[in-house]
């Protein structure tokens, strides 16, 4: 069993390998995904196992390679494109937002783009402002893109398999800090898919609902476990797919707990998690709230370099813990 406690990098590689084995039209392209094994080691030995024709090293040309992935997807292939850092998707945004996202709709459904764009995001590595952003809202605000933010290896595997199957462009945002750590749960063998657009109730409690994305799910989980010892019982919901977003478990949970804390890594202003708040505010579950909704998000600044500054820029475990404790204590 212990050998199934994979890291996210291993889980993503396993999912890609399964897809490679299942479908000849699946291939991987990106900068240094070949012999190098990927900047974060995600593709690993795939180059040796599948060959240079299916694990395609590209020049440093994000717009070109995403465009090539779009064209290949339109022509019967199922490309997985890796962009080395999510920050560099800015270089490729025309192909992502104007082409991939719109083609199916704009062309009246004549064509579709079964493509997955995997890219690492997030802070905590000391790589500073151009290598550390959380860009969830960029993608979640574009109709036509599905956006997946896995928080653990088991989900990453199942969601990536579903993303590769999906006939639409999927942006798959992997947090760098999760690549090297094993998840809490073993990663199942085989090719089990986790459908996109289904939120996961990670744990259930009666006092507070936390909705968090990506790495913030892990941080919130730790907080929930710790506060359980103090008698504070927390429901933790991981949307997993932020577009399309499944709010139903959030509504149901808030109707029970009456308290909602939302946590994201990216800057607060116009952040993705604000969508959760907006949908809650406009729902009939609003009347169940016994406390104001609390939001924890990154500061509205570029990610700074120095470790103490970088930590200050995004929510940490202590922030989540004190926010959770305060909500439950103050609002009874």
User: Residue 215: in which H helix or E strand, if any?
Assistant: helix 215-228
Upstream peptide bond of 244 is cis (omega within 30 degrees of 0): yes
Which residue from 90, 191, 277, 289 is in contact with other proteins, where contact means CB under 8 A? Answer: 289
Integer CA distances (angstroms), 42 to 37, 70, 126, 176, 321, in order: 7, 22, 20, 10, 32
Q: Contact between 21 and other proteins (CB under 8 A)?
A: no
Query: Binder to other proteins among 1, 2, 3, 75 (CB under 8 A)?
Result: 75
User: Does 52 contact other proteins by CB under 8 A?
Assistant: no
Residue 146 engages other proteins in binding (rule: CB under 8 A): yes
Site string for other proteins, 197-236 (x = CB under 8 A): ----------------------------------------
Residue 288 lies near other proteins (rule: CB under 8 A): yes
C-beta of 109 vs 190, nearer to other proteins: 109
| Binds other proteins by CB under 8 A, chosen from 35, 61, 278, 306 | 61
- Least distance (Å) between residue 134 CB and other proteins: 24
Of 101 and 216, which has the nearer Cβ to other proteins?
101
Instruction: Report whether 160 contacts 16 (CB < 8 A).
Output: yes
Residue (of 40, 113, 14) closest to 71 by Cα position: 113
Cβ closest to other proteins, residue 290 vs residue 301 = 290
Q: Distance between CA atoms of 95 and 102, rounded to whole angstroms?
A: 10
Distance of closest approach, residue 110 Cβ to other proteins, in angstroms: 5
Write out the catalytic residue numbers: 62, 131
Phi–psi pair at 17, nearest 5 degrees? -65, -45
* Nearest alpha carbon to residue 290 among 254, 319, 321, 266: 254
CA 93 – CA 169 distance, rounded (Å): 13
Cβ-based burial of 163 (10 A; exposed 0-12, middle 13-18, buried ≥19): buried
From residue 246, give the alpha-carbon distance in Å to each of 51, 241, 254, 304.
38, 8, 14, 33
Q: What number of chain residues touch other proteins (CB under 8 A)? A: 56
Question: What is the Cα–Cα distance from 323 to 328, expressed in whole angstroms?
Answer: 9
Q: Which of 9, 14, 104, 210 binds other proteins (CB under 8 A)?
A: 104
> Which range in 42-50, 132-140, 161-169, 202-210 contacts other proteins by CB under 8 A?
161-169
| Residue nearer to other proteins on the CB measure, 53 or 189 | 53
Q: Which CB, 223 or 328, lies closer to other proteins?
A: 328
Residue 93 CB, nearest approach to other proteins (Å) = 11
| Residue 90 makes contact with other proteins by CB under 8 A | no
The residues in 242-261 that bind other proteins, with binding defined as CB under 8 A, are: 244, 258
Which CA distances in Å does 166 have to 23, 24, 202?
13, 16, 24
Chain residues in the site for other proteins (CB under 8 A):
25, 27, 53, 58-59, 61, 63-77, 79, 94-95, 98-99, 103-112, 143-144, 146, 165-168, 196, 244, 258, 286-292, 330-332
């Amino acid at each position: 069993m212990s050998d199934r406690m994979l890291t996210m990098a291993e889980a993503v590689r396993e999912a890609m390998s399964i897809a490679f084995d299942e479908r000849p039209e699946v291939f991987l392209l990106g900068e240094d995904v070949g012999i190098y094994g990927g900047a974060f080691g995600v593709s690993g030995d795939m180059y040796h196992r599948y060959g240079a024709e299916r694990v395609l090293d590209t020049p440093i040309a994000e717009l070109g390679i995403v465009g090539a992935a779009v064209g290949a997807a339109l022509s019967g292939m199922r490309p997985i494109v890796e962009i080395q850092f999510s920050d560099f998707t800015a270089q490729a945004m025309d192909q992502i937002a104007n082409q991939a996202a719109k083609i199916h709709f704009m062309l009246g459904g004549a064509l579709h783009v079964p493509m997955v764009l995997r890219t690492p995001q997030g802070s905590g590595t000391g790589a500073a402002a151009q290598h550390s952003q959380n860009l969830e809202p960029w993608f979640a605000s574009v109709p036509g893109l599905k956006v997946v933010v896995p928080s653990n290896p088991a989900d990453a595997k199942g969601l990536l398999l579903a993303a590769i199957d999906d006939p639409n462009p999927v942006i798959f945002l992997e947090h760098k800090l999760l690549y090297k750590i094993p998840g809490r749960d073993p990663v199942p063998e085989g090719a089990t898919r986790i459908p996109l657009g289904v939120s996961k109730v990670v744990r259930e409690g009666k006092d507070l609902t936390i909705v968090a994305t990506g790495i913030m799910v892990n941080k919130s989980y730790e907080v929930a476990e710790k506060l359980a010892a103090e008698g504070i019982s927390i429901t933790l919901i991981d949307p997993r797919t932020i577009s399309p977003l499944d709010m139903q478990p959030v509504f149901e949970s808030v109707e029970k707990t009456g308290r909602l804390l939302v946590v994201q890594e990216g800057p607060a202003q116009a952040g993705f998690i604000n969508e959760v708040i907006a949908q809650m505010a406009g729902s009939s579950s609003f009347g169940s709230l016994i406390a104001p909704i609390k939001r924890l998000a990154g500061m509205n600044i570029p990610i700074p370099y120095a470790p103490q500054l970088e930590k200050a820029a995004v929510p940490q475990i202590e922030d989540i813990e004190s926010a959770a404790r305060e909500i439950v204590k103050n609002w009874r």
